[in-house]
Amino acid sequence: MTLPASWNATPSGLPRARGLGLPFAGTPGTSNAITDVAGVEVGYCTLISGEGPLVVGQGPVRTGVTAIFPRGQARANQPVWAGAHSLNGNGELTGAWWLEETGRCELAITITNTHSCGLARDASLQWAVRRRLNETGQDWGLPVAAETFDGHLNDINGFHVKAEHVWAALDDAHGGPIEEGSVGGGTGMICYGFKGGSGTSSRLVEAAGGRWTVGAFVQANFGRTAELVVAGVPVGEVLAANPEKYFETGGGGSIIVVIATDAPLLPHQCKRLARRATLGIGRSGTIGRHSSGDIFLAFTTANAAALQEDAVAPIAVTTLPEAEMNPLFEGAIQAIDEAILNALVANRTMVGRDGHRVPALPTAAVLELLKAAGRV
């Protein structure tokens, strides 16, 4: 079978996991990305500069911002129903209380480094005000901003992410194939001891007599090398036996997972879908360590009319029966597992502050281990 070009490589030509021949269950959408859910757009701003010893406020800089619009820039002021879940709460997801209260996710979702999360939230509001989105009936907002820690490679206390970088990521948002690896908020991230970052994937599923798309985006910054599992094979155990070759963190870090679907779900069903991200990240081996912030958000682009603030009469909505949620659960788990592998594969070795070196995943060695196990 000849795979679509967008399944094999990123727009810039970096390899993706399927392009290497790694096996995955399920059928992806056209771009094998969260943007396969109609209307979803993703943008990045990547900041890389400087080398050598850390000088706080000067660098080296290895960071950035990711922006995800559930309904695209053109409909940025139209909320979606959503739900969130925390596997381990050593992290931040702004707007979570309002989301829990009403099931509403408003404006863009931004993801950046830990010490720039509040700025990303504020800059999202500034972007909305500049676009006069507050003049359409609501003059306030509680946007979602999330974070993972990039301080091993980045001058995180230099606060290099500014409002204009958040705006650049928001303005860059588009549909179709998107970049992966060391881009946007994922620029300075480490995953299973290797260069991690931004990854995405999608699945087409059938439920309740319809065909739906489930897409996932991850900012992967978690796990220890010895834990890494690829296609059911514990490759990390072998890779960790060569510590002189590979970098090893304490295994903390974090992962943010954003799940999108066009299936008609109610907010509590979105929360149920978000919980399945726990199983998705578990497929790659993590145990959800104490210092890891593992936080997940799921939203649906359906039922837009039900979120009108000016409605005064009952509004009819459609929803999947609870028993028909299983295909979405399965699709989300599959997409998250593949998104994590894409974040690892679409990457190169990075050297950051104080000469800290984080190697790229040794894909040739991984493929050999999978071949030996009969998985490739």
Residues annotated as catalytic (active site), given as ranges: 254, 292, 294
Q: Which residues contact 130 (CB under 8 A, 6 or more apart)?
A: none
How far is the CA of 291 from the CAs of 89, 218, 221, in angstroms? 9, 18, 11
Phi, psi dihedral angles at 256 (to 5 degrees): -105, 130
Spell 4-19 as b/e; 16+ CB within 10 A means b. eebbbbbeeebbbbbb
Q: H or E segment at 220?
A: strand 210-222
Contact 81, 307 (CB under 8 A): yes
Q: Which amino acid would we find at residue 113? A: N
Q: How many helices (H) and strands (E) does the chain have?
A: 9, 14
Strand bridging mode 144-148 / 109-113:
parallel
* Rounded (5°) CA angle 118-335-38: 75
SS3 257: strand
Rounded alpha-carbon distances, angstroms, from residue 233 to 228, 277, 283: 9, 20, 10
Bridge-based pairing of strands 104-105 and 80-89 is: antiparallel
Task: For the beta carbon of residue 78, count every other beta carbon within 10 angstroms.
Answer: 18
- The set of residues, in sequence order, having a beta carbon less than 8 Å from that of 137 and lying 6+ positions away, is 309, 310
Collapsed DSSP state (helix, strand, coil) of residue 184: helix
* SS3 call for 342: helix
Looking at residue 365, the DSSP 8-state letter turns out to be: H
Q: What is the DSSP letter of 319?
A: -
